[in-house]
Amino acid sequence: MAALPPYRNILPSAMLGSMLQNVAVVLLDGVHPFELGVVCEVFGLDRTDEGLPGYDFAVVSAEGPRLRTHAGFDVFAAEGLERLDQADLVVVPAADDATSREFPRDVLGALNRAVERGATVLSVCSGVFVLGAAGLLDGRRCAAHWRHTELLAARHPEARVEQDVLYVDDAGVVTSAGTAAGIDACLHLVRKEQGVAVANGIARRMVVPPHREGGQAQFVARPLPRATSDSVGGVLSWMERHLDQDVTVDDLAARALMSPRTFARRFQQETGTTPYRWLLGQRILLARELLEGTGLTVDAVAARAGFGNAATLRHHFCRRVGTTPHAYRRTFRPDGARL
């Protein structure tokens, strides 16, 4: 299998038309430093020297310029809520007492205005309760930390709270589960707006998986975990290297020296998904990378990614990505739109 070109070489076309350039983080008193740091790391660090995009990034105070953190130190945010009116993405990190307190009305109003004008709003962990208070969860699917899902559903009965997921993206409102799931949600938005290469480049710098599944199993499915079992882990590595080959559970079980039933159960336990869904997710990711980063025809992409033919690729690609391979290529590789 031929190596993909370096990600920096395909960023210019992937960046065209991006609606993710201006990012603002809203801080409430008692903000949690880790959740804030996640957003700062993804969007606030200048990586343009590596060909990655730069963001117009701001930290905004919702309750006065000086705020305490739940770790016992203070942070200072000079910008006010008016800054949110310029943002393509507004992020609400977790804060103390977010599950029980009242939130400033001007904050809730600013979040609603952001969604109304087409911006994306993202919550990290208990920040979802701020979005709920703003009425942004009504009629939408949403995610929360597993400790808070029942409370969130009881407080906002019009919300469709997804159990055991890392994040949910529903009509411009993105909600993520506890703590590190904010990384998954942020990278999902980068991937959605700016393509696989950009998201993978940022993840590489952060030394995190570009996307993961397990624990709170991911709703926007794209598996990447490594199993703790040596047997299953070895099969995962083999599957990654042979995505273009037709395999069955029986084949994989034999490679792991297990019965098919034992292998399927162990695989589910270790990865949070089935062998079929894991393999399908990996093939879709490879197809996206090839559509962005190479001049291969769609038929060749389908063969390289293990789908066999363009019709099968189109079927699965539309179901997973929400668009056709040709349309995806036009969005993220305009110079290859004729291929």
- The verdict on residue 22 lying in a domain is yes
pLDDT of residue 209: 75
Domain stop point among 271, 295, 328: 271
Residue 208 DSSP code: S
pLDDT of residue 214: 44
3-state secondary structure of 140: coil
Task: Based on the fold, state whether residues 55 and 153 are members of the same structural domain.
Answer: yes
Helix then strand then coil, % of the chain, to nearest 5: 50, 15, 40
- The verdict on residue 225 lying in a domain is no
In one-letter notation, the amino acid at residue 10 is I
79 forms bridges with which residues in the sheet?
Answer: 60
- The verdict on residue 85 lying in a domain is yes
pLDDT of residue 224: 41
Task: Based on the fold, state whether residues 45 and 95 are members of the same structural domain.
Answer: yes
pLDDT of residue 5: 32
Rounded to 5 degrees, what are φ and ψ at 273?
-155, 180
Gap between the Cα atoms of 122 and 21, Å rounded: 15
Task: Based on the fold, state whether residues 27 and 165 are members of the same structural domain.
Answer: yes
pLDDT of residue 294: 87
pLDDT of residue 63: 87
- The verdict on residue 97 lying in a domain is yes
Q: Tell me the CA distances in angstroms from 128 to 87, 112, 114, 267, one per residue in order.
A: 19, 14, 16, 32
Task: Based on the fold, state whether residues 169 and 59 are members of the same structural domain.
Answer: yes
Task: Based on the fold, state whether residues 68 and 116 are members of the same structural domain.
Answer: yes
Task: Based on the fold, state whether residues 189 and 251 are members of the same structural domain.
Answer: no
Domain stop point among 174, 206, 238: 206
The residue segments making up the domain with residue 237 are 230-271
Task: Based on the fold, state whether residues 138 and 95 are members of the same structural domain.
Answer: yes
- The verdict on residue 221 lying in a domain is no
Domain stop point among 222, 249, 271: 271
Task: Based on the fold, state whether residues 91 and 172 are members of the same structural domain.
Answer: yes
- The verdict on residue 165 lying in a domain is yes
Query: Which CATH number do you get for residue 98?
Result: 3.40.50.880
Gap between the Cα atoms of 232 and 238, Å rounded: 10
Kindly give, in sequence order, each residue whose CB lies less than 8 Å from that of residue 175, ignoring residues fewer than 6 positions away: 122, 123, 128, 131, 137, 142, 143, 144, 167, 168, 185
Mean pLDDT by 10 residues, the chain (339 residues): 33 51 96 95 94 94 90 92 95 94 95 96 96 97 91 94 86 90 93 88 85 45 43 83 90 91 86 84 88 90 93 91 85 57
Task: Based on the fold, state whether residues 130 and 22 are members of the same structural domain.
Answer: yes
Query: Which CATH number do you get for residue 267?
Result: 1.10.10.60
pLDDT of residue 8: 31
pLDDT of residue 2: 34
Task: Based on the fold, state whether residues 264 and 293 are members of the same structural domain.
Answer: no
Task: Based on the fold, state whether residues 176 and 49 are members of the same structural domain.
Answer: yes
- The verdict on residue 224 lying in a domain is no
Task: Based on the fold, state whether residues 166 and 261 are members of the same structural domain.
Answer: no
H/E run at residue 22: strand 22-27
- The verdict on residue 223 lying in a domain is no
Total tally of structural domains belonging to the chain: 3
Cβ(182)–Cβ(125) below 8 Å: yes
pLDDT of residue 59: 96
pLDDT of residue 89: 97
